[in-house]
């Protein structure tokens, strides 16, 4: 479900998990939440001092984040937070549409009563947050809802395949959170849940794919608009 962020008052190494995993989780969450925006340079010395770790686990964590598409490691400049542009979103949605459709169909066949109740709670929280204008909170619940559908598929291999996409999806949801305007997103999720609860595999798969396709179109519009806004204005007198 939702990733719990480490307490920053505690050194990153004060845990039973590996230092690399702790640093990886913290850096990834900061990128997802927008604390580290695209193009920001991450200085090893500063991060190692802040986290209270040596540079070895830090470099290992950065290498993992690079493989996941969150960082670019450049000669001389070091690690830089990667941008999430329209091309990356297209690639993500190409894969996500197929896999989430499969997950929804399997969930309609295999979801347990406990998992269905958990979906209901997430949908209720998402609608309440959306209607109250707490869009970032709604985004978290929406991402958790999709994650729970994958878990409910009961297919460990599918879960493994979707896991690397989950963080990228959460980052995209954060970047396009203004698209979550309440009823449309909640309504689509609720209709998808109804198909899963009814055990209708075909309907669940179709609704999941339609939902992803709609999300793709909206996200690409948002990313295109952001790219236009970020583009420098032409200098006076230039064509």
Question: Partners of 71 in the beta sheet?
Answer: 81
| Tens digits of residue pLDDT in 124-137 | 999 999 888 888 88
Residue-wise DSSP of 113-130? HHHHHHHHHHHHHHHHHH
Residue-wise DSSP of 30-66? HHHTTSS-TTPEEPHHHHHHHHT--HHHHHHHHHHHH
| Predicted local confidence at residue 46, as pLDDT | 93
| Predicted local confidence at residue 18, as pLDDT | 82
Q: Which of 177, 191, 186 is nearest to 134 (CA)?
A: 177
Spell out the residues 6+ positions from residue 233 whose beta carbon is closer than 8 angstroms to its own. none
Q: Which of 102, 69, 91 is nearest to 216 (CA)?
A: 91
Which stretches in the chain have pLDDT values below 50? Answer: 1-10, 14, 16, 180, 182, 233-239
| Predicted local confidence at residue 8, as pLDDT | 45
Strands, sheet with 41-42, edge to edge from the N-terminal-most edge strand: 41-42, 78-81, 71-74
| Predicted local confidence at residue 94, as pLDDT | 94
CB 107 within 8 A of CB 204: yes
Q: How far is CA 233 from the centre of its chain?
A: 31
| Predicted local confidence at residue 75, as pLDDT | 75
């Amino acid at each position: 479900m939702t990733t719990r962020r480490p307490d920053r008052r505690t050194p990153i190494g004060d845990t039973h998990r590996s230092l690399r995993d702790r640093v990886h989780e913290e850096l990834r969450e900061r990128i997802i939440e927008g604390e580290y925006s695209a193009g920001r340079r991450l200085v090893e010395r500063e991060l190692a001092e802040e986290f209270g770790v040596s540079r070895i686990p830090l470099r290992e964590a950065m290498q993992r984040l690079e493989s996941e598409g969150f960082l670019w490691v450049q000669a001389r400049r070091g690690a830089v937070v990667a941008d999430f542009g329209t091309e990356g979103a297209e690639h993500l949605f190409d894969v996500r549409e197929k896999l989430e459709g499969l997950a929804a169909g399997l969930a309609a066949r295999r979801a347990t009563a406990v998992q269905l109740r958990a979906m209901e709670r997430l949908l209720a929280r998402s609608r309440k947050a959306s209607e109250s204008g707490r869009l970032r909170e709604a985004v978290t619940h929406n991402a958790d809802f999709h994650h729970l559908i994958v878990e409910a598929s009961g297919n460990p291999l599918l879960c493994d395949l979707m896991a690397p996409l989950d963080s990228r999806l959460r980052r995209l949801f954060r970047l396009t959170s203004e698209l979550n305007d309440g009823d449309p997103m909640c309504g689509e999720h609720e209709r998808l849940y109804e198909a899963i609860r009814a055990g209708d595999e075909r309907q669940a798969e179709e609704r999941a794919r339609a939902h992803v396709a709609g999300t793709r179109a909206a996200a690409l519009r948002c990313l295109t608009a952001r790219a236009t806004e970020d583009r420098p204005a032409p200098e006076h007198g230039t064509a």
